[in-house]
Amino acid sequence: MSNKEPIYAWISYPFVEFPLSSAFVLAFFLLASVFVYSITLNFFWVLLSIVFLFSSLFSFFVPTYYEFYDDHVFVKVLIFKRERKYTEFKCFYSDKKGVMLSTFNRPRGLDRFRGQSIRFTKKQDERDQIMEFLNEKIGNKF
């Protein structure tokens, strides 16, 4: 991580920012647990199913820290840290919740695995500034 101050920084925490969705997710976890217990009658399988469900929605439950520096982007989720230079990315494109930084010249299906997803906050106050900033750093917007 750079010892300079970030140009842009924010925290995205969907579990807190979207309470209605959070309630539905927790209700689904409860229903899935009841369903698994009714089939297996074993708490081990209930715990295992909850672990799998939680791990698939991990980024929803924990806050994600985003920091944009002059030459790289830094993303931290709990204890996992990722720093990537803008030169690794060849294009970027936005969706309703954020922006995807792609390692390909145009959007591809592998972007989820090779690229970097940046999620904005609920109010998306940073959207315009980040899109402008990425246009300067990466340049190829779709």
> pLDDT for 105-142, tens place per residue?
999 989 989 999 999 999 999 999 999 999 999 987 88
For the stretch 12-46, pLDDT in tens is 999 999 999 999 999 999 999 999 999 999 999 99
Over 70: is that where the pLDDT of 2 sits?
no
- Tell me the pTM: 0.86
Please state, in angstroms and rounded to a whole number, the distance separating the CA atoms of residues 75 and 1.
10
Are the C-beta atoms of 47 and 57 separated by less than 8 Å? Answer: no
Count of C-beta atoms within a 10 Å radius of residue 134? 23
Local confidence band at 81 (pLDDT 50, 70, 90 cut-offs): very high
Count of C-beta atoms within a 10 Å radius of residue 108? 14
What pLDDT shows up at residue 3?
Answer: 62
